[in-house]
Amino acid sequence: MVTSTSDPNTVESDYDRLSEIKAFDESKAGVKGLVDAGISKIPRMFIQPPDSYGKTSTFYGRVPTIDLDAIDRDADRRNRVINEIKDASKNWGFFQIINHGIPLSILEEMLNGARRFFEQDTEVKKVFYTRDDTEPVRYNSNFDLYSSPAANWRDTLGCVMEPNPPDPEKLPAPCRDMLIEYSKQVMPLGYTLFELLSEALGLQKSHLRDMGCADGLSVACHYYPQCPEPELTLGTTKHADYAFLTVLLQDEIGGLQVLHKEHWVDVPPVPVALIVNIGDLLQLISNDKFKSAEHRVLSNRAAPRVSIACFFLLRSSAKHYGPIKELLSEENPPKYGVTTVRDFALHFRSKGLGATSKLTHLKL
């Protein structure tokens, strides 16, 4: 049985956190199941430490929006965009893009498809529920449920879509067609972004692709149910992504914030825009020229939120990655050691989400 309490300071000598987590996990109903059951107080396992869920956000700038229109036809415009991406990747680690080539209808249907999956009957969703990280299609709540200090208020459907997509029949029917189509649309966008990022580093435009940064694509559909006590928990706690690059589609609800100069800055939804953020692996190979920014998602009581995160990396890759040698000099020596994507992914998943940088153990 999942215990409910609304006071984070309550001390219960008989509270058994592991039993509460197991009961929640074994229900295979996710956070959505708690909301469907009509709870008015969140279970204790979701209550974040007070310093984690402080919601006050001081306006401290605006995440840059970059227009990709005409970058293949106008050399001057392409150079301006490269400089904008360079500045955003260095100072923010986040930017929004418009005129990216993916039609609004595709974006909307991808969000709707994910919403249909999460809002169908629990018994139907249970077929996909697993914590086996080797499965190409996985539905669960909190990949780090058993190791995190507090669970996040979200459920996730994760699919490995490239380079070896799963049999279409193994994808959930409510979002099957859109997962396939959206992945086909995101991959060439990723190629374009890696070209622009390569040029922003002063490299040949094929450099990052040639390194294998776009060899794999994992898609995570996140569902954040409405929360009866949003002041006590988070949709996603503060963290940085470990991939090379993330392309994020969010619905109109909002709640995403990026940490910029020690201030939380809202990333407001823009219907036609996609959000791009630098991941830890790109920070590593750029030798800190680009920044992997910490971010989080607030929970809310008004309505469920849906987002689609596309992570560019091949998690099984045994290829070695370290700071790019063309970026190094006596004045700019390597700041990190070498790792493989596979080892770095295992390290990330063993540590779970949290405030501690996953790059610390690789610093020289």
Per-residue pLDDT of the chain in tens (364 residues, 90 and over written 9): 455 555 545 545 678 999 999 999 999 999 999 999 999 999 999 999 876 545 555 556 799 999 999 999 999 999 999 999 999 999 999 999 999 999 999 999 999 999 999 999 999 999 999 999 889 999 999 999 999 999 999 999 999 999 999 999 999 999 999 999 999 999 999 999 999 999 999 999 999 999 999 999 999 999 999 999 999 999 999 999 999 999 999 999 999 999 998 889 999 999 899 999 999 999 999 999 999 999 999 999 999 999 999 999 998 899 999 999 999 999 999 999 999 999 998 888 877 777 567 898 999 9
Residues 6+ apart with CB under 8 A from 315: 160, 216, 218, 341, 342, 345
CA 170 to CA 106: how far, in whole Å? Answer: 21
Residues 6+ apart with CB under 8 A from 7: none
* 274-278 and 94-98 beta bridge pairing: antiparallel
R_g (Cα) of the chain, nearest Å = 20
CB 225 within 8 A of CB 25: no
User: Is the preceding peptide bond at 163 cis, omega within 30 degrees of 0?
Assistant: yes
Q: Is 70 left (phi over 0), alpha (psi -120 to 50) or beta?
A: left
Query: By three-state DSSP, how is residue 307 classified?
Result: strand
CA 360 to CA 332: how far, in whole Å? Answer: 18
CA 119 to CA 117: how far, in whole Å? Answer: 6
CA 18 to CA 10: how far, in whole Å? Answer: 17
Position 158 scores a pLDDT of: 97
DSSP assigned state of 167: P
Position 350 scores a pLDDT of: 79
CB 293 within 8 A of CB 355: no
Tokens standing for 59? Answer: 């306006």
CB 103 within 8 A of CB 274: no
Tokens standing for 364? Answer: 């020289």
- Length of the chain, in residues: 364
Position 247 scores a pLDDT of: 98
Residues 6+ apart with CB under 8 A from 59: 265
Name the residue with tokens 């045994």: 318
